[in-house]
Each structure stands twice: as C-alpha cells, then as structure tokens.
Amino acid sequence: MSYEETDIINIIIAGTAGQGVITLKRLIEFAAQKSGSDLVLGTEMHGLAQREGAIVSHTRYQMKSYQNPRKNLQSPLICYGDADLFICLEPVEALRRGIFSSKKTTFVLNERTIPGVMITADLEEYPSLNEIEEILKKSSEEIYFINATQLSLDKFDTNQNMNIIMLGVAIATGKLPFIKTEHYEQVIHEWLRDPDNNVQALQLGIENGKQLMRKEHV
Amino acid sequence: MIKEDKRFISEQGEVLMLGNEAVVRGCLEAGVSYAAQYPGTPTSDIGETFQKILREQPDLRKYLIHHWAINEAVASSECAGAAWTGCRVLNPMKHVGLNVASDALSVIALNGPNPGAMVILVGADPGSLGSHQEQNERFYIWMFHFPCLEPHTPQECKDYTKLAFELSEKYDTVIELRTSTRSAHSRGYVKLNPIKKGLSIGNFERNIPKFNSLPPHAINNHIRLYERIEKIREEIPNLNINRLIPGENSTGIITSGMSFGYTLEALAQLGLFDVPVLKLGMIYPLNHEEITDFLAPLKNVVIIEELEPFLEVKISEIAHKHNLEIEIIGEEFFPKYNEYSTGLVASCLAKIFQKRPEEQMTTSVEIFNSYKDKIPSRFPTFCAGCPERATLYSILKTTNNMENTVICGDIGCFVMSFFPPQECSDLIICMSGGLSAAIGISEKTEQKVIAFIGDSTFLHTGMSPLAEAANYNSNVLLFIFENSWTAMTGHQPVLGLTEKKLSIEKICDAIGVNWLKIEDSYHPKRLMKSINQALEEKGLKVIIIKRECALQANRWRTSQIRKLKKEGKKLQEVYFHITGCQMCYECARILSCPAIRKTEVDGLETMQIDEDRCIRCEVCLRICPNNAIHKSIINALETEVHFREL
Ligand SMILES: Cc1ncc(C[n+]2csc(CCOP(=O)(O)OP(=O)(O)O)c2C)c(N)n1
Ligand code: SF4
Ligand code: SF4
C-alpha cells in the first residue's frame, strides 16, 4: 500500500500497564514531528487505568494538511475501522481494540502473553495465539507475530527493550510512512535512558520484521 | 524518561505538548505566580509539570509557587488569597473536586479575584476514564457564573489559558477553563511565545465590602457579578474565540471542545462537506447576536456535546426568546452518558442526515461485536506486592469470606477491591464516604462493619468522620492504609506524611481512638490475629497498615540496587520457585497477585512466579497452605537491599 502525503496515518498501540505503550507512542509522535509532519495528534491514558490494566493509545499524523479543515486530522481518537497499524505488546489486547481495525489494518503482535488475574484464578479462559489470529483474520490479512520479549531477553538480558523491538518490526511493515529510521534514532537519543541499547533494539526489530515480511510474501 | 525539558524554557518555536503541558506553558507565558491543587485525574500532571519545572529551574521559585494542597476547598481558598495579593493564580481540580471546592468557590466568585486574577481549571471525565463517576459538572458554571472556555487542541489549551487570565484580571471574575480527560491527555503542536515572570512579592489591601460577602455586601457583590458577566458577554465577538466553518446546508451544528473534532471527522466520514459548524470556544456566557446570526438561515440545528444537555438548554432559550423558527436537535439522538468518539458521532449524524456511514466503519463494528464477548477481561488490579491487596487477603480469611460483614470501601487504589476475584468492597461513595457510611450502618445492624481509608484521603476529609466515630464509639473497624503516597493518582506526596512531619497514629490518639494497632500486611499471620481481636471487641477500632506502596518501594529499591552495583558492590539475589503446587488457588483467587501465573511443567499444572514482575514481598510464600513456594538466595553473605521502613 502506498500513501499520499495528505493521508492521515492512524496507529493503535495496545498492551498492559508497564509494557511501555506510552513511551512508544511518544517516540512515534516526536519522530513524526522530526519528519516534518504538518499535523500530529494522539491520546494516552493516565491514572486509574495504569494498575495492571489494559492500555491503549491512539497516534495519528498527517504529513501535509489541506487548506480545508474538514479534511484534516481533527480528533485524537481514531474512528472505528480506521487504523492502518496495530502494535500489540500483548496479543489478546489486539482483540480488545479490534473495533478500530478493518481490511486496511496491519497487525504486529508480541507473542508473549500476560494472563490477567481472572485467567490465573481459572475463572476465565485465555485464547490461544491461533485463535487470536483466526479472529483477526476476519477483518485483516496482514498479521505478524513475533516473540519480541524473548528477543529482548536474549539480546539485552531484560524484557525492557521489547517495546522498541516491536517499533522496529512495525517500521518494517511500511505502515509508518514518511518517518525515517534516523528520526526515531534522534528521538531515542534525545528522550530515552540508555539510547545505545535502544537504537540496537530498534535495528533488531527492523531486521526481524523484514525477515518476517519476506517469509510471508514468498 | 525526560532529561531536561526545553519546552518550558524556550521562548519560541513549535513543540509537541499534552493539553495539560500546554496549560502550564500558558501559565508561564501569562506570568502566573501561584498554583495550588489536590491531585485528581485528569489534572494531576499539571501539578507534576509545575513541580518538574521548579526542580529544573530553581531560580523560578522566587516568582512561582506550586502547592500540593490538602484538599480542593483549601486549594481554592489559598488560590483566592494569593490572587488578593495581586497574583495570577491557577487552581486545577477534577470534576468531582469541584464538589469539594464549591463551598469556597461560591463566595470567591462573588468577591472576585482582583487585584490579581484566578483561573480554575476543571478536568471533566465523560466516560469515567479515570474517575468513579462522570458527573456533568458544567451546571456549576451557571450556579456560580464562571465564564467558561473549553479548548479542543493543545494549542487552544495554551491560548485559552492566557486569554482566561486576561479576562479574569480585566473583569475581576473567576474564569473556568474546562478540559476533559481527552483534551488534557492529547498531544499536538504548540507554538511558543515569550515567558513572563510572575509577581514575586504582593500586597493585600483592605477592602471590606469586596472581601466580606455578607449582607448587605453579599447582595451588592451579586449585582456586581451580573454586571461583570454582561460585560464579558458583550465582548465575546471581539475575543476571536468562537469559530465558524461556513456551509450551505440548511441543517447546522453547534458544538465545543473535543466534540468539535469528532464532529468534523464524522462529517467527513459521511461525505457531508456543506454543513455549517459553529465551534464555541466560550460555552458560558453566550452572545445572543452571535448565536442568532448563526441560527437565522437554518431550518435545523444539531447540538453536539458530551453528557447532559447544557448548550442545548441555553441555545433553545435564545431561539425561543428571539422567536426563531428552528428545530433544535440534540439529546434525542445523542447519548447523555459516556464519552463520544468520531464513530459514535458519525452514527448519530447518519440518522439525522439519513446517510449511510462508510462500509469500513459498519463492518468493523459488526465483526467486533461478533467476538467481543470472548475477550478475557483485564480489570485494573493492584500491583504485584501491593500492601492493600495483602490486607484484603487477611480480611477475607478472618471474616470467612465476608460472612455477616459489611465492607465500606473508599477512594484510593483499593477501589479496585470491588473487582473479581477478590470482590470485597460492598460500597463506595466518595473520598471519606466509606467511614461515614460505616457509622450509620453500624448503628443499625449487628453485622461486623469494616471501613477503609487511604492516608491521603484521611488528611483530605477523613479526620472529621473519625472524630465523629470516636465520639459515638461506633462499632467499626477502620483500616488506614498508610502507604505514604497518594498512589492512585500517580504518587503525589501525602502532605506532611511523606516528609514525616506528621503522624497518623498521633492524630488518631488526639481524636480519641482508644483501640489502635499498627500492622504490616506483609505479615499476614500477625495481621489476622489483630483483625480477629478487633472483630471481637465492640466500639471503634483502628488498624493502621504501615507499608509503603509497592510500586514506589520497588522503584526506590531498584534505584538502590543500580547505585550499589555501580559502586561495585556484590548483592544478594533472591529467587522464588514453586515445587509441589497442589493448585489450591489460594494465591491466585484470594491473594490474586498478578506476578503469579498458571503454567504446565511435565504435563502437570502448577503456579509459577514471573520473576520480572514479582517484587519479592514474600506474602505468597507466607500464605501458601502447601508450603510449595520456596525462597533461595544467591550470594547469601553479600549485601541485602531491604524495602525502606516508613
Ligand atoms: C474529591 C476528589 N478529589 C480527588 C479525587 C481523585 N483521587 C482518586 S483516588 C485518590 C488518591 C487517594 O490517595 P490515598 O487515600 O492515599 O489512597 P491510595 O491511592 O494511596 O491507596 C485521589 C486523589 C477524587 N476521587 N475525589
Ligand atoms: S500503586 Fe501502590 S498502592 Fe496502588 S496498587 Fe500499586 S502498589 Fe498498591
Ligand atoms: S512474592 Fe509472591 S505475592 Fe509478593 S510480588 Fe512476588 S509473587 Fe507476588
């Protein structure tokens, strides 16, 4: 899919508290600013929702705006079905935000599950990754799973770089048009603790993402 | 994450900011010299931003003060006090905070803030995204006559803040800036202008009629208030604050704030590009001529606003008074509850304009509805190692799962106790409402009555019901969670307590509490013994759970570990492992720590501890009835890093 500069790009980032959803969202927004985007707007959650709960953020940008305000990015919330990209740091969180997805949506999902307390208490069931994929396939064709938590543990000895690896995978899908890798790298240097590792994580994600895309398209 | 935030230092350029950050930037540019607030989503991060700026730029402290106040009523009155010395002051609060502040504000509104200026920032919360309810607090605007500005983008958050201060100063009137969870926490571009230093030293000048709104001055000040509002009403067209997007359609739309964005995008979704839209930047007062000019050529007007009709009432009144023949459409098509979105507004407008929404939108809703019931729930729950969760465990055990027991919940992280699997809060009212309700329940039942209160809430409004309970010796067991932080809203300090300047047990003693114990919920056996004793006694009993919030405690310990490692110290490492798990679910259903998960080893189900989420509080290990949870220590002879003592 190719994008026009006047298109509005819509990204859902979903996960659970503490996984780094908000950091990822800010990185994309600041990188969009570096890329010279005319409009950037997005929303994040603070407060109550942060205790082990489900977290979602909406990120939107538009490289070139129209003279007519009626065609421009005006709301920080994405409309139902209108997301171009889902970055899911926890797989079942993709389903929770499914209303924002449609044919045009590409999903990248971290395979590592975080079952809520109701699952551990055996009062509810957690679907398998296959079941999750089957459900997502009802609306979308581009669904990529990757074990980013494991990649982070293997390479950095901590799960803390998982979110940046996932960003790399997302970049490889081409669904974050007009923002260059250098823009992300600059933002990482300006805003994150331990920038060198994070830049490495980004590269690792991009490489793994590219491999995934190749496999799927053979 | 942030190293040094240039966005609050630069004098020019364009930066990305959250709505709340833009408000703070607006304050800097407007020369604000005082701000005070009690935390509450979605306004807590305004205070955090002020605090951060003052930490990073200590020289500013001479010109700018930010106080975490003890409650909203105190915050409003202290802000008024500062304004009366000539300062420009900002007083943020969440929508329910306005209930607490209202008594003070009803009088401050009459007096007026001059010689300074006072802006109250009220964070609404349609959809209850960060609150216990979603009250439509806009009706206070009518009651107290607060001219009210409602921004949509972060840029407007900054611009309206500055305008609010100008109006407040010029018209001696308290101005309200009304944000919502969405506008406060949306990020977008903001253009910067030069920063102005606030007043460093002010002066209070006596003016008995102005500052004593009692008869006869109360009536005169009421008259004066009306005069000021009328002047502002006349000035609206010159303020350039209401925005018209013209169109030829005979049905128009009036909207404000976040709804404006949803409306424009919804119209685009429906392919309706000719509908005239009036966006009100000021939602009270309204300029009649401006409204009638917009309505005159129209057959219908749709009012789009979240929650109960507010604009709709006033616009209907204007149309009626001016004998306009126009149909006013609103609440019959739009819900009066919950948050709006582009999708929702589009589906309501589709009915009004008899249009089909885009297929992409309708199919995505249909598909989602086909599987949404299968999505496992993920309620917010206590963090791993939370001392409040561990207390609930001990209560559930000692009361035989709440048999013949009423648990009066309250506001704080432990509001989450009503969620399954623990489900142990019978009621919630408001801050300190739990203890107050317990007084009434205990007088009229023979059930055991337990009440909860957090430390910040105790200081906010909790001392008064405790004094009453002590006076009547109410048959209540009160748990005070002394976790040292205002945790739920993001860990602001508990005034006086975090800095160790006051003592809750001494306050209890002075109030006349005769039965008091201090316990640590990380030691369930001891705690359960105390609870059993307390439940056998008649009258008022207080147990203070003294244990730092686990999230903060773990942050502190992690930073200690990082520091010590940097110094080259060898440290103990603690691991937990589970062997011989009988799958009794004691840790999963009654304690329900989120660091514990179910897994399979060699085909057998067992519980397992997620190392990276466990904070090593050791509660699960102490309660496991099968002694299946074991602790092992590597480098046992080296330095051990404890949690800090309160
Ligand atoms: C009148 C009012 N003001 C503010 C809030 C926001 N609020 C919700 S929970 C909470 C924190 C209470 O802190 P504390 O009592 O210490 O309990 P903890 O969260 O630490 O358990 C606050 C301020 C509110 N709900 N009502
Ligand atoms: S933030 Fe602190 S008090 Fe709140 S749930 Fe987490 S550990 Fe408990
Ligand atoms: S020690 Fe047990 S109860 Fe405490 S945080 Fe770890 S898993 Fe949870």
Q: Is B545 in the pocket of ligand 2 (CB under 6 A)?
A: no
- Ordered structural domains, chain B, with CATH: 6-239 (3.40.50.970), 243-367 (3.40.50.920), 387-552 (3.40.50.970), 566-634 (3.30.70)
Gap from CA of B340 to ligand 1 centroid (Å): 26
Residue B514, helix vs strand vs coil: coil
B492 in the Ramachandran plot: left (φ > 0), alpha (ψ -120 to 50) or beta? beta
pLDDT digits (tens, 9 = 90+) for A88-118: 999 999 999 999 999 999 999 999 999 999 9
pLDDT digits (tens, 9 = 90+) for B201-218: 999 999 999 999 999 999
With a cut of 90, say whether residue A212 has pLDDT above it: yes
Burial A160-197 (b: 16+ CB within 10 A, else e): bbbbbbbbbbbbbbebbbbbeeebbbbbbeebbeeeeb
Q: Is B441 in the pocket of ligand 2 (CB under 6 A)?
A: no
Q: What part of B 227-266 touches A (C-beta under 8 Å)? A: 245, 258, 260-262, 264-266
Can you give the pLDDT at residue A162? 98
pLDDT digits (tens, 9 = 90+) for B581-591: 999 999 999 99
Q: Is B382 in the pocket of ligand 2 (CB under 6 A)?
A: yes
pLDDT digits (tens, 9 = 90+) for A160-182: 999 999 999 999 999 999 999 99
User: Please, which pLDDT band fits residue B43 given cuts at 50, 70 and 90?
Assistant: very high
* Averaged pLDDT for residues B304-333: 97
With a cut of 70, say whether residue A48 has pLDDT above it: no
pLDDT digits (tens, 9 = 90+) for B230-278: 999 999 999 999 999 999 999 999 999 999 999 999 999 999 999 999 9
Pair of tokens at residue A143: 């669904």
Residue with tokens 């969670």: B481
Can you give the pLDDT at residue B1? 43
pLDDT digits (tens, 9 = 90+) for B450-477: 999 999 999 999 999 999 999 999 999 9
With a cut of 70, say whether residue B320 has pLDDT above it: yes
Burial class (CB in 10 A: 0-12, 13-18, 19+), B490: middle
Contacts of B42 (CB under 8 A, 6+ apart): A46, A47, B20, B94, B123, B125, B129, B130, B179, B180, B181, B184, B185
Q: Is B328 in the pocket of ligand 2 (CB under 6 A)?
A: no
Report the share of chain B in percent with pLDDT over 90.
96
- Whether residue A159 lies within 8 A of chain B, CB to CB, comes out as yes
Entry field: residues in chain A: 218
Q: How many residue pairs bridge chain A and chain B with CB atoms within 8 Å of each other?
A: 222
The Cα of B393 is separated from the nearest Cα of chain A by a number of Å equal to 14
Q: What is the ipTM of this complex?
A: 0.96
Mutate which of B615, B629, B632, B643 to test ligand 3's pocket (most atoms within 8 Å of Cβ)?
B615
Instruction: Decide if B302 contacts B387 (C-beta within 8 A).
Output: no
CB-CB under 8 Å, A79 with B376: no
With a cut of 90, say whether residue B174 has pLDDT above it: yes
- Whether residue B7 lies within 8 A of chain A, CB to CB, comes out as no
Contacts of A28 (CB under 8 A, 6+ apart): A11, A59, A61, A167, A176, A179
With a cut of 70, say whether residue A217 has pLDDT above it: no
pLDDT digits (tens, 9 = 90+) for B279-312: 999 999 999 999 999 999 999 999 999 999 999 9
- Distance, in Å, from the CA atom of B158 to the CA atom of B155, rounded to the nearest integer, reads 5
> What are the percentages of helix, strand and coil residues in chain B, rounded to 5?
40, 20, 40
What mean pLDDT, rounded, does chain B reach?
96
- Distance, in Å, from the CA atom of B35 to the CA atom of B375, rounded to the nearest integer, reads 44
Q: Is B483 in the pocket of ligand 1 (CB under 6 A)?
A: yes
* Averaged pLDDT for residues B338-350: 96
Tell me the HSE value of B137 on the side-chain side, using a 13 A CA sphere: 27
For chain A, the domains span 8-213
- Distance, in Å, from the CA atom of B352 to the CA atom of A48, rounded to the nearest integer, reads 36
- Whether residue A98 lies within 8 A of chain B, CB to CB, comes out as yes
Specify the residue with its C-alpha closest to ligand 2, atom 8.
B386
Can you give the pLDDT at residue A50? 61
CB-CB under 8 Å, A119 with B598: yes
Closest by alpha carbon to B174, among B233, B105, B122? B105
- Whether residue A82 lies within 8 A of chain B, CB to CB, comes out as yes
Tell me the HSE value of B244 on the side-chain side, using a 13 A CA sphere: 12
pLDDT digits (tens, 9 = 90+) for B475-504: 999 999 999 999 999 999 999 999 999 999
- Distance, in Å, from the CA atom of A85 to the CA atom of B488, rounded to the nearest integer, reads 31
Instruction: Decide if B409 contacts B428 (C-beta within 8 A).
Output: yes
pLDDT digits (tens, 9 = 90+) for B56-112: 999 999 999 999 999 999 999 999 999 999 999 999 999 999 999 999 999 999 999
The dihedral sign for the CA sequence B412, B418, B424, B427: positive
Select the residue of A39, A93, A98 nearest B368 (Cβ to Cβ): A98
- Distance, in Å, from the CA atom of B297 to the CA atom of B325, rounded to the nearest integer, reads 10
pLDDT digits (tens, 9 = 90+) for B521-558: 999 999 999 999 999 999 999 999 999 999 999 999 99
- Whether residue B269 lies within 8 A of chain A, CB to CB, comes out as yes
Please tell me the number of the ligand nearest to residue B97's CA. 1
The dihedral sign for the CA sequence B265, B270, B273, B275: negative
Please tell me the number of the ligand nearest to residue B628's CA. 3
Q: Which residues line ligand 3 (CB under 6 A)?
A: B 384-385, 576, 593, 595-596, 609, 614-620
CB-CB under 8 Å, B376 with A92: yes
User: Please, which pLDDT band fits residue A17 given cuts at 50, 70 and 90?
Assistant: confident
- Whether residue B597 lies within 8 A of chain A, CB to CB, comes out as yes
More confident residue, A88 or A53: A88
CB-CB under 8 Å, B380 with A135: no
Can you give the pLDDT at residue A45? 79
Instruction: Decide if B147 contacts B119 (C-beta within 8 A).
Output: no
Considering the domain A8-213, what is its CATH architecture? Answer: 3-Layer(aba) Sandwich (3.40)
Q: Is B483 in the pocket of ligand 2 (CB under 6 A)?
A: yes
Judging contacts by C-beta atoms under 8 Å, the chain B residues touching residue A17 are 380
- Distance, in Å, from the CA atom of A94 to the CA atom of A132, rounded to the nearest integer, reads 8
pLDDT digits (tens, 9 = 90+) for B108-121: 999 999 999 999 99
- What is the identity of the amino acid at B238? N
The Cα of A40 is separated from the nearest Cα of chain B by a number of Å equal to 5
Can you give the pLDDT at residue B3? 61
- The kind and range of the H/E element at B361 are helix B359-371
Distances (CA, A) of A53 to A16, A66, A115, B42, B619: 6, 38, 11, 17, 22
Residue B610, helix vs strand vs coil: coil
